[in-house]
Amino acid sequence: MKITICGSIAFQDEVLSVKEKLEKLGHEVRLWPLQLKDERGKLISAKEYYKIRKIAADDEKWVWDRKAEAVLEHFDKVAWSDAILVANYDKNDIKGYIGGNTLMEMGLAFFLKKKIYLLNEIPELPYKEEILGVRPIILGGDLSKIA
């Protein structure tokens, strides 16, 4: 199956491990780019970019331009896939956190009639109903349930 992983760069190490496991299971997997260009066009790692973005001011144009590009690129990957896997690890003291960007990707996947897998349980967030509304399949950490 063609699978696009969605989630936060904060969990890149975990996601890379998930990608490897999925590939061993015979799936074709895409995720966000591991490198991006900084304001001078120099390639930096996604993790480095994430660190910069976390403290970036609203007017640091190149930072937000990269993010806008990444949003659209990832939407295209959602469209390419048969299914998305939301890598929802614990974040900000919330179990199975899902952020705004990932929520948009889940919405797009639902519109495009893709399967939506959640790696972990549905988070207790004010928008839990909307997450449930796009009919995700909860894996409980078990990738072999993807079919």
Partner 1 sequence: MKIFICGSMHFAKKMLEVKKKLEEMGHVAEVPCDTQEFANNHKMTTDNHEENYKWCIDNDIIRKCFNSVAENDAILLLNYPKNGINGYVGASGLMEIGLAYYLNKKIFLLYPPPPVKEAKYSHEILIIQPTILNGNLNLIS
Which tokens in the block code for residue 136?
A: 């995700």
Binding window for partner 1 (CB under 8 A); candidates: 1-9, 28-36, 69-77, 137-145: 69-77
The verdict on 68 binding partner 1 (CB under 8 A) reads yes
Residue 136: in which H helix or E strand, if any? none
Contact pick of 43, 127, 141, 145 for partner 1 (by CB under 8 A): 127
Identify residue 57 by its one-letter amino acid code: A
Count of beta carbons in the 10 Å neighbourhood of residue 112 = 12
The verdict on 61 binding partner 1 (CB under 8 A) reads no
Distance of CA 40 to the CA centre of its chain: 26
Nearest residue (CB) to partner 1, 85 versus 108:
108
Backbone angles phi, psi at 130, to 5 degrees: -70, -35
Binding window for partner 1 (CB under 8 A); candidates: 10-18, 37-45, 80-88, 131-139: 131-139
Nearest residue (CB) to partner 1, 3 versus 123:
123
Give the integer Cα–Cα distance in Å for 82 and 28.
10
Instruction: Tell me which residues touch partner 1 (CB under 8 A).
Output: 58, 64, 67-68, 71-72, 75, 79, 99-101, 103-108, 110-111, 126-134
